[in-house]
Amino acid sequence: MLDRGAAGIVGSRIQRHMTSRNDTSGTGPGTPAESAFQPASQVDPRVMTSARRRGLFVTFEGIEGSGKTTQIERLADRLRQAGEAIVITREPGGSPLGRRLRTLLLGEDVGRIDPQAELLLYVADRAQHLREVVEPALAAGTNVLCDRFVDATLAYQGYARGIDLELIRMLHRSPPLDRRPDRTMLLDLDPAVGLDRARRRNEDLGLAPTEGRFEREALEFHTRVRDGYLDLAEAEPFRFRIVDAEGSTESVEARIADLLSDLFPALDEDGVS
Ligand code: TMP
């Protein structure tokens, strides 16, 4: 089923990512992020006003149990305290239609979902979410922190389920689906650790450890997801930052703040340690 050697991304590639995860040199000239945030002293205030008009779109990705949701909330608190307008949202389920789709995709027992049907449901969720939530917020100057986005479709439906990556990319070529994040934070974690965390979380909630369509998948599936994410990150170093998601919540929070401080200078100023 895996037709692009998706499972063949091996330790050496992961190692390369792990050793370069704090390298922020990827913010190249001309990226939307950099051009929108020149130091105030060097910029004509009128230019700065127009450059900052649009909000920043930051997405968070990672395998099950990588801690995205907690980290997004912590980051949002910190940014709001610094005066930034922030919307937290997620896929699937960021819009009223999306919440219905999320139940179908992850909650209800609807039997085995065909991989193509699954793909199209995630894409339907995204189109509605972009149109109804993300684009209006960005246009109003609000920064959007989004728990999963198109890279999740590439990693889960593409690399892990084996759907052609080019087909997925083709579906995202026209508005509203052609929106790209200004920055994508990949919370990287050993899949065995992540799966264990996700299953324990289910138990804490009184659910079966394997509750949820993806918690039931074998470790190999999650390894393909992780390797897929690392492959995507390697292909787009300007957009991605890889965050080591092992360690305490506070230490991961500090890593994220450090890797976002070029976009949000307040993260540098308020002494995250
Ligand atoms: P989460 O919101 O708890 O991360 O769960 C969302 C699940 O949906 C997660 O297992 C990953 C999966 N997913 C896909 O398979 N494809 C997608 O495009 C998205 C957004 C999520």
One DSSP character per residue, 146-196 reads: EES-HHHIIIIIIIIT---HHHHHHHTSSTTTT---SEEEEEE--HHHHHH
Report the mean per-residue pLDDT for the chain: 82
Does ligand 1 have an atom closer than 6 angstroms to the CB of 215? no
- pLDDT value for 210: 62
How much is the pLDDT for 80?
A: 98
Q: What pLDDT shows up at residue 40? A: 33
The pLDDT, as a whole number, for residue 36 is 31
Indicate if the pLDDT at residue 236 is higher than 90: yes
Pocket test for ligand 1, best of 145, 156, 165, 205 (most atoms within 8 A of CB): 156
Identify the residue whose C-alpha is closest to ligand 1 atom 20: 91
pLDDT for residue 217? 79
Structure-token pair, residue 143: 């920064």
Report d(CA 159, CA 119) in Å as an integer. Answer: 12
Mean pLDDT of 182-192: 97
Q: Which residue has the higher pLDDT, 17 or 205?
A: 205
pLDDT for residue 269:
62
- What is the structure's pLDDT at 179? 98
Q: Are 233 and 186 in contact (CB under 8 A)?
A: yes
Task: Give the model confidence (pLDDT) of 146-160 as tens digits.
Answer: 999 999 999 999 999
Task: Give the distance (Å) from ligand 1 centre to CA of residue 91.
Answer: 7
pLDDT (0 to 100) of residue 85: 97
CATH topology of domain 39-265: Rossmann fold (3.40.50)
The finding on whether 214 has its CB within 6 A of some atom of ligand 1 is yes
DSSP 3-state helix, strand, coil percentages of the chain (rounded to 5)?
Answer: 50, 10, 40
Q: For ligand 1, atom 3, which residue shows the shortest CA distance?
A: 64
Q: For position 257, what pLDDT does the model report? A: 98
State the pLDDT at residue 6: 35
Question: Which residue is closest in CA terms to ligand 1's atom 10?
Answer: 214
Residue nearest to atom 18 of ligand 1 (CA): 153
In terms of Cα–Cα distance, which of 102, 81, 91 is closest to 144? 91
Answer with the residue of higher pLDDT: 7 or 112: 112
How far apart, in whole angstroms, are the C-alpha atoms of residue 36 and residue 30? 9
Among 202-206, 215-219, 262-266, 267-271, the least confident range: 267-271
Please indicate whether residue 224, judged by its CB atom, sits closer than 6 Å to ligand 1: no
Average pLDDT over residues 228-243: 98
- For the cut 80, the answer to whether the pLDDT of residue 211 exceeds it is no
CA 149 to centroid of ligand 1, rounded, Å: 9
**Residue with the nearest Cα to atom 15 of ligand 1?**
156
How far, in Å, from the CA of 51 to the mean position of ligand 1?
33
**Ligand 1 atom 16: residue of nearest CA:** 153
pLDDT exceeds cutoff 70 at 62: yes
